[in-house]
Structure 1
Amino acid sequence: MTSPVDQFRHDSWVAALGTFVSYGLVLVVMTALLFLVPYGLFRFL
């Protein structure tokens, strides 16, 4: 018996998931650089 998850183990699904995860990480890093770093600089200086 196969698991329902096995149908998503194709290379295209792995590539799509990797794309979304890396895009999310880029958004988190850019948000931190553009908003949290300047806020910290102005807050503590």
Structure 2
Amino acid sequence: MLSLEEYESLQETAHLLRSPANAKRLIEAVDALERGKSLKRKLKL
């Protein structure tokens, strides 16, 4: 059994990975983060 929050998270992940181009971009971004290749930026609010 899943909570509604977990179910919605899985649905969102499936949606984001549905496009092969988007899936590739997201996987590469996660890879870069895991290798320490990220930038820290401040957001203007």
Q: TM-score with structure 2 length normalisation?
A: 0.42
Rg larger in structure: 1
Alignment TM-score, normalising by the size of structure 1: 0.42
More helix, by proportion: 1
